[in-house]
């Protein structure tokens, strides 16, 4: 990223369960986590990701580091059992166009490409 450039914006689904990157849904962290717990888990996730990078040529260390990443993501609610309780399926990593969010995303994309076609305000 260039200095002074704004970070990329990834749209959140209206129900707050996912954000979209390059047309794919990614599950968000559990919003019920208190801020202190969430921050601790994010610190652990970042530490585990650094450990993955550092374990590049060490298979046993890599396996442990990747397990730490997975454990942190499960604790955050980004993997593992879903954090919502209405029975909706987990669509993590699915292409938006193949999900119930397809119409929403298509409209969002159209509005970004052609703001004059906007039917709603973001």
Delimit the domains of the chain by residue range. Answer: 12-28+90-122, 35-77
The pTM is what?
Answer: 0.80
Percent of the chain with pLDDT over 70: 85
Predicted confidence (pLDDT) at residue 14 exceeds the cutoff of 70: yes
What is the rounded average pLDDT of the residues 55-62? 95
pLDDT at 110: 77
pLDDT at 121: 47
Burial of 18 (0-12, 13-18, 19+ CB in 10 A): buried
Q: How confident is the model at residue 27 (pLDDT cuts 50, 70, 90)?
A: very high
| Backbone torsions φ then ψ of 99, nearest 5 degrees | -130, 180
């Amino acid at each position: 990223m260039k200095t002074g450039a704004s970070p990329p914006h990834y749209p959140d689904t209206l129900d707050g369960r996912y954000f979209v990157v390059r047309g794919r849904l990614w599950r968000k962290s559990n919003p019920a986590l208190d801020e202190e717990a969430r921050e601790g888990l994010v610190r652990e996730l970042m530490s585990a990701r650094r450990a993955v990078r550092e374990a590049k040529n060490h298979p046993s260390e890599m396996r442990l580091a990747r397990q730490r990443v997975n454990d942190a993501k499960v604790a955050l609610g980004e993997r593992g059992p879903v954090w919502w309780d209405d029975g909706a399926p987990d669509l993590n990593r699915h292409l938006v166009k193949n999900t119930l969010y397809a119409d929403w995303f298509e409209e969002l994309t159209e509005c970004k490409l052609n703001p004059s076609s906007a039917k709603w305000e973001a």
